[in-house]
Each structure stands twice: as structure tokens, then as C-alpha cells.
Amino acid sequence: MEIHPKITPIYQTSVFKFEDLNELELYFGEPGSRYLYSRNGNPNSDELAAAVTQLEGGAGAVATGSGMAAIFAAVMAYCEAGDHVLCAADIYGGSSALLSQELSRLGITVSYVPFADLTANLAAHAQPRTRLLLCETISNPLLRVVDLQAAAEATHALGLKLVVDNTFASPILTRPLEHGADLVMHSVTKYLAGHSDVTAGAVVARTPEDAARLRQIGTLFGLTLSPMESWLAVRGLKTLRLRMEAHCRNAQAVAELLVGHPAVGEVFYPGLSVHPQHQLAASQGGGRFGGMVSFRLADDTTEAVSRFMRACQRFPFAPSLAGVDSSLSYPAGTSHRALTEEQRQELGITAGLVRLSVGIEPADELLADLQQALDD
């Protein structure tokens, strides 16, 4: 009996069989026509890569074991020993730690560029062997919005590549390749998978040549995502648009509540008209602003944050983001813990800064919980 499944089965196998040497030669002669070993690719990871490629409007992608693996693959696609990377100062702390602590051991150096210089003064930071600029569409954790078109123009004018981490925005809000980026990466763990039950990453290339290079790196460094994790991520992708609409709607309501509360000193959300890049975010995001909200308590201390965390019922302290269930995180103690106190202060990551990942629960329940926690 021939079976025709509606969805792709999980190919939970590390290796694939060949009938004869002719079939083996087809594998090497026609990439993608056969499977040999799951590290080289498997139907599930290829399905995820193809889906994210379509979402981002790229030429090809590689699915990786995590978002960090995706960043590593993106940098290695363009860099070798002796090369130099420019990185936005406003970026996930794990990304900066990878660049500064680990890639430096491979002879790849990094310089951090202030937000204001990403488009207006990028040349002042470039070196003879600078190869790329790495930035985030919406920065972690203060939600600054990069002008991707201007960043691409500034980068390409210097002969560099633009690599964009699109995790906070997702391709539902912004597709960086359409604005001139060369590679776009995701922590698929977050919005793309969406249910806090998978760890994965992906890098999408604008050109077929870069896509082939990414696949080579994924294979040789052993970064390829497993079949089960790939299957879970593809399942999550099917509701991405619906989830993002709910995340954005709830986050807007949360941000507006926080702005008016006396216990809150400052709110960071691109959907607020007072946000410095509000108009840019509206244009680049199609009028949607994402599901992440950060705020600084008026009592800018760790003690105040602890009291707030203990009082919250619907926002558990869980230092990740983008699941269907809301959560909160503490950047100074988690995502940016590896930075020095001086570095955190320069970026505005103070003791009283809280980052909310706003889920898709009923908005009135989330607002009531935040109200009582702030009133406590």
C-alpha cells in the first residue's frame, strides 16, 4: 500500500541506504537529489530551510542547532583568520561573547559600533580587512530599530557584507534581504518555532553562492539541525502569522499600560509614538511592532525588580522569549551578564531594566497581572 502523508514524516535516521554505486554517484552529482548522512542534510532540516528561505525571500538557507550556531555560520561564511567584523553595540550578549571570546581565538577580531554610527559614520570603524557588519533588526534588549536600507547602503559602499539577526522582528514584520542585507539569521527557537519546545537556528542567503557556502559550513562544522527538532520547528511555522498578530496586539496594550504607571520610569517599544524610531519601525514593519517590550522601573534597583518578579503571576521569570506564553527576563543578569558593568551602563542596561516577552494569552489577563504587580 502506497502512503501519502499530509505532512512530512520525521526521518529519525542518521544514515540513508543506497541500492548501488550508481545511486551513490547521483548523490554526489546532483546535490539535493539523495540523502546520505543526516549531518549533510535530511528531509526534515531541508524542509525547514526551504520554509524559512521562502519566508525571507532568499535563495537558500541552512537550518542549524541553535541561533548561536546560525550566527557562527553567518560569520564563517565571509571570514577567515586575520579578518575583522563590525558588530552593532546594541546586540544580544551571547552574540557579542561569541565574537569577542571565541572567534578571536580563530584570529577574527571584532569592533563594536554605536547605534548612531551604523548608517551615518560606519566608515570610521572599518579596517582594511573588515568583512561584514552584524546587527539586529530590533535590538536586544532596548528595542532600537536599525534602518536596514541605510545600513545596507553604508555597508556595501565599503565593500562589506550586511548580516542581520531578524529574531525579534520575524519575517512577518520585516524581511531584511529586501532591504539589501546579504544574510539574515534567526534563533528559530523564538518566534519561528514559537512554543518553547525546540532549540534551532537558520541562516538565509540572498544569493545561491552564499547559500551553497552556508550549507558547506553546516555540514563540515556539524551544525545541521536534527530531524525531530526540524519537524517541530516546521510545525510551529504554520501558525507564525497568526501568532505574530496576537503578540503585536498584546505588546502594544502592555506598552501603553506601562507608560502610564508611576512605578515605571521608561518604556521601550517601537509601537509607542515617543519611540525615537517609531516611524521607521512602522514603515519597515508594515505597521506592526513585535511582541517584545522592555521597561525600566522608576526604582532602578535589583531589589525592585525582584519584588516585581515575585508579584507577577502571568509573566514567569524565564530568560528566553517568543513563546506563546508570556515571560519576563532580566538582561543585566541573563542575556547581557557577560558584559562588564561599565559596558552595560553605556548601553543603558541598568539594574532596574526588565524585558517582557508578551505572549498570546487574553490581553486583559496580562494587563491585570502587570497592574497588580506594579501596584504591589
Residues with catalytic function: 39, 92, 165, 190
- Mapped onto helix, strand or coil, the DSSP state of residue 292 is strand
CA distances from 372 to 210, 258, 351, 367 (A): 51, 12, 21, 9
Q: Where are the beta strands (DSSP E) in the chain?
A: 60-64, 84-88, 109-113, 130-136, 161-165, 183-186, 201-205, 264-268, 292-297, 327-329, 353-357
First-residue to last-residue Cα distance in the chain: 64
Task: Tell which phi-psi region holds residue 90, choosing left (phi > 0), alpha (psi between -120 and 50) or beta.
Answer: beta
DSSP 123: G
Q: Which amino acid is at 204?
A: V
Distance CA 179, CA 173 (A): 13
Cis-peptide, bond into residue 171, ω within 30° of zero: no
What burial letters (b/e) apply to 227-243, b meaning 16+ CB within 10 Å?
bebbbbbbbbbeebeeb
Neighbours of 13 (CB within 10 A): 13
What is the chain's alpha carbon radius of gyration, rounded to the nearest angstrom? 21
**Inter-residue contact 135 to 87 (CB < 8 Å):** yes
